[in-house]
Structure 1
């Protein structure tokens, strides 16, 4: 089992230790964790990573993640897609659970909480025929 803990006195660094790992430290800056979380959230939600904002609050053995993102919805004039779409609240809960699981795996530490704030809606662009 690998354990990730806050590295005392450095603030934005973590140290990784566990059985089978060589002696020493592995430091990962908060910026790397933030970018990783932004890309994972964008992938799971289905939006451009540039539109996702992430804040990570670390504790000793866990972290909480706050994600602010627009959420994809079908074009409102596409009645068939609107009928087939999963309700936003249900889709957001699924994304929240999946993001927590993925980040726990990627970071190698428990993610105790994922707060997901939907900042708007994004619809697929219409394709123009020339």
Structure 2
């Protein structure tokens, strides 16, 4: 298993070490982990990555990820889409679990918790027919 730990004295860097890895260190900037989490969250939730904000609090063995994002909802005048839509709370819980699983795999260490804060609603853009 690969372990990612904060390196003392290195600033905003993370050291990756584990069995089967060559001797030495691989440093991953915290910003890389943050951008990776932002893109994964945007992909899973279904919004533009520029609207997603992520904070990562890490310890030796795990990480906690805090995500703030708008959440996609159907246009209210599209009654069929509204009826067919998954309730926001259910969709948010599913996204939270999927994000935790994906980030655990991408980071190479346990993500113990994902806190998801929905900051607003994001409706799809109307398409104009010319």
With the length of structure 2 as denominator, give the TM-score of the two structures.
Answer: 0.97
Kindly report the root-mean-square deviation, in angstroms, between the aligned alpha carbons of the 2 structures.
0.8
The answer for unaligned runs of 5 or more in structure 2 is none
1:40 aligns with 2:40: yes
Q: Which runs of 4+ in 1 moved over 4 A?
A: none
Aligned residues: 130
The answer for unaligned runs of 5 or more in structure 1 is none
1:64 aligns with 2:64: yes
66-75 vs 56-65, which moves further: 56-65
State the alpha-carbon separation in 2 of the partners of residues 16 and 34 from structure 1: 16
Matching of residues 82-97 of structure 1 within 5 Å: 82-97=82-97
With the length of structure 1 as denominator, give the TM-score of the two structures.
Answer: 0.97
Match of 2:50 in 1: 50
Residue 116 of structure 1, CA deviation: 0.3
